[in-house]
Amino acid sequence: MFVALDGNPVHMVPATTPGTYVPFVADEYMELREVGDGWRLDTLGGVQYTFRPVTSLGNGAYADPNLWLLTQIRHVASPDRC
């Protein structure tokens, strides 16, 4: 499994906790977890990235089971969301 942030793919591998993935190699620690119908990437810096499948966006006319798009960025210490 790969996550692309800032245009750079990060190879994610299973962690010891079931359903959690961590980077094989990265500059910053992060964890990827399945949450509801999407995935959430939590960074050590407190930033949360939420990804949703393409089929859950818009009218669902485009279906690709391998494509997940970034739908939200949130810092855990701030009420703001992007």
Domain ranges of the chain: 2-75
**Could you tell me the CA-to-CA distances from 8 to 19, 72, 78, 82 in Å, in that order?**
23, 18, 26, 20
Position 47 confidence tier, pLDDT thresholds 50, 70, 90: very high
Q: Is the pLDDT of residue 59 over 70?
A: no
3-state SS, 14-55, equals ECCCCCEEEECCCCCCEEEEEECCEEEEEECCCEEEEEEEHH
- The one-letter amino acid code at 63 reads A
Q: Is the pLDDT of residue 42 over 80?
A: yes
Alpha carbons 46 and 4: distance in angstroms, whole number: 18
